[in-house]
Structure 1
Amino acid sequence: MPHNIYLHSALVKSRQVDRSRPAEVKEANMYYLIECTVALFVSLLINIFVIAVFGAVFYKKTNMDVYKKCAESGSSYINILPKDNRTLDVDIFKGGVVIGCYFGTPALYIWAIGILAAGQSSTMTGTYSGQFVMEGFLNLTWSRFARVTLTRSLAIIPTVIVAAVQDVSNLSSMNDILNVLQSILLPFALIPILTFTSLKTLMHQFTNGIFGKLVGVLITLVVMAVNAYFVVDFVEHLGSVYLYILAGIILFLYLVFVIYLLWLSSVAAGISCLRLGQEGRFNHEVLRN
């Protein structure tokens, strides 16, 4: 969720902290760290639970195995499941159906409520992130109600239209495409934030240390590599030569742009360090004279 980085930044800016006092800023950073760590840890636990349940149900299963299990449980959604011996392939909707077959109908509704809650959470964070970005880049002076109405409408209305004219299977495929698009956007959030938090002229005494920079760069590279692998894997499953060619061209341009972004960030960091050095020499000369 690359847009959440902007959301967290906006939420931090909204806190009443005297930024002229380093001790108060340091204390606020500690509480921000605890807040984000707790939120991300809870999200991690939820994802571990989901993966564990799916692994227990889906591992080494074929479509026929699941079809027989759903037939025994009397599932009303059995018609959407194929009857062959290929490895089980599910999406969000079929995954919930299969869970209901193995753990009973309540599990199916628990899964549905969880997906609804996740969708609402994602929509709200995306909407608020867009709202804060619009305020910063476009300098909008609308009332809060007008901004929220516009951004929520832009987020929800297209989704409602797609849901009304398409079936559930197409919506599940659309979710996969959205995940791929968010993966592609990650470097445009991670690289600038690493650059900005490493600038002495911007962060002063709160600049990232050498250890923080190394860890940040390593984590960013790992996340980008994992997401690049899954993007390629997603394209391979589409099975069209023309899509391969198109994906190859887009991937090449994308990598060129990411390299350009890295170069631009390094140039900005170098200029900042040069200016800081010049200011230091100037101050030294003033004090000496």
Structure 2
Amino acid sequence: MSSNEAYHEPGAGGDGSGGSSGASAGGSQRSNQLHHQQILNETTYLKPAAKQAYFSDEKVLIPDDDSTNVGFSFRKLWAFTGPGFLMSIAYLDPGNIESDMQSGAAAKYKILWVLLWATVLGLLMQRLAARLGVVTGLHLAEMCYRQYKRLPRWILWIMIEIAIIGSDMQEVIGTAIAIYLLSNKVVPLWGGVLITIVDTFTFLFLDKYGLRKLEFLFGTLITIMAVSFGYEYIVSAPNQGEVLEGMFVPWCSHCNSNVLLQ
């Protein structure tokens, strides 16, 4: 018996009106499902014909074995960890580290609470962006392209470009200063800038070999930085009371404009 015959079989025992009513109800249900899917596609996904700006050619495979799918899985967690390493670079770039060092030299531990709450707000925004990407399948640039008209898109683009330029300036200068100091002033600042340009294009080139390799590289670098910071914290032995007070008490006594502008 074919699938169509099996579908119409329940109506065969009744009269013609019953069979017709069942077929009509089934057709209406399928039509509603197709209409709902069409609305879902139109509201959550862009097609290539709609000039979507970006399509990921490489999909990250998430292990999903029902036989071992019991409770928490470190294997699944690790599959999602790579993008977290890439995003954490935004908080660990040389420009931010240099800015933190300048703030510490000027205010000691008094404005650690600013760093704490800025990190919390950053995590909140990253979480919202991740949830938006999971639900829609689009990144923020694609969402702006789809939701805003041309004038707001241009304004957002100009604002983002200015923010990127400002961020890149401190990152490049911070890297150049770090190379200048680590080389015992042998490499000049302009040489550090050139080295920064070269390593930037090197990382872009590594992306061609696969996203996982790039994530592994950044994960290794972040691990080295974490170990270095932990060792430095132990060796420097800061006053724990002052650290906790500066982190959780939102106040900065005797802070002048030079401290607040760091």
TM-score when scaled to structure 2?
Answer: 0.39
Structure with the higher helix share, 1 or 2: 1
Larger Rg: 2
Structure with the larger RCO, 1 or 2 (CA within 8 Å, 6+ apart): 2
For normalisation by structure 1, the TM-score amounts to 0.36
